[in-house]
Amino acid sequence: MRSVRVLVIGATGVLGREVVPALLADGHHVGGMASGRHRLPAIGALGIDPVAADVFDADSLVPVLREYDAVVNVATRVPVGRRLMRNRNWADNDRLRAEGSRALARAALAAGVGVLVQEGVSLAYAEGGDTVLDERAPLDPVGPTRASVAAHVNAETFAGEGRSAVRLRIATVHGDDPISRWMINGAKGRGPAYFGDPDGWLTAIHPADAASGIVAALTAPSGVYNLGATPIRKREFGAVIAEVAGAAKARTLPGVLTRGFLAILARSQRLSSARFSDLTGWQPKRTEPAVDWFPAW
């Protein structure tokens, strides 16, 4: 596609720090938004234009967005370690997704932006068993996944009259990220390497492949799209986590014993990204989770 001016919300996060270089490599002019002026140096260090605005205040966003053709929202505040197991610890992340996305959609519409790409999670899908889940599969948003669905509803209000609102249901991100770090550390201490039925399905995605998909989304028509690598059996994923952790055995926590966010992770999800690939040509370079997905912590 032609070079466009893209503003990234969440440029220093797990996805953002991969999205920024991917956009630059594709020839786009990139800006990053900071929540306050004290964060501007961190944005500038990425080699992009730093701007400050309040993601919850549409009026402060409008003048910033007028300088851009597209906006990519990958801002999250995922709790770290054991804190992610309790729903109340997701409050900041939920507000960022639900309220921040609402203000951003309003501001992008007022500013004349052409494309809005909104992050979301495939964990909002209901338990799927062996069924291949495309974008028509039923949702069962609970806990922190509710805010992801709300963000997509908000982004959809932007679409129309030549404007594209691309909403991504991104598979569970595994690499250098808080959830993977927590799982690997747990497996080192004889904790579970995965959750749910060993014969269930897990669809993961490496942060770099998620980033290349987000860049490809700039060319996609308005709609909701799955974005993930090749699904594998949970026992296979657990074996990878155990190997990274140096654990002798990949243990699981059965779904009936899980609560909160762990119950979401215990679902079987055999995700299909075929629709997005057919429309954009995107394919993950890392097709299945492997030891080299994870840094040496």
Give the tens place of pLDDT for each residue, 221-269: 999 999 999 999 999 999 999 999 999 999 999 999 999 999 999 999 9
What would the two tokens of residue 1 be? 């596609």
Instruction: Report pLDDT for 90.
Output: 93
C-alpha dihedral (67, 18, 207, 28), degrees to nearest 10: 50
- Predicted pLDDT of residue 1: 66
Please tell me the predicted confidence (pLDDT) of residue 35. 83
What per-residue confidence (pLDDT) applies to 297? Answer: 66
pTM of the predicted protein model? 0.96
pLDDT tens-place string over residues 152-183: 999 999 999 999 999 999 999 999 998 999 99
Average pLDDT along the chain, 297 residues, taken 10 residues at a time: 92 96 97 90 95 95 98 93 86 95 98 98 98 98 96 98 97 94 92 96 98 98 98 98 95 93 96 98 98 89
Task: Give yes or no for a contact between 210 and 18, defined as CB atoms under 8 angstroms apart.
Answer: yes
Q: Which residue has the tokens 């657990």?
A: 238
Q: Are strands 204-205 and 70-73 parallel, antiparallel or unpaired?
A: unpaired
- Would you give the distance in Å from CA 142 to the centre of its chain? 17
Cβ neighbors of 269 (< 8 A, separation 6 or more) are 122, 123, 125, 128, 133, 171, 201, 202, 203, 231
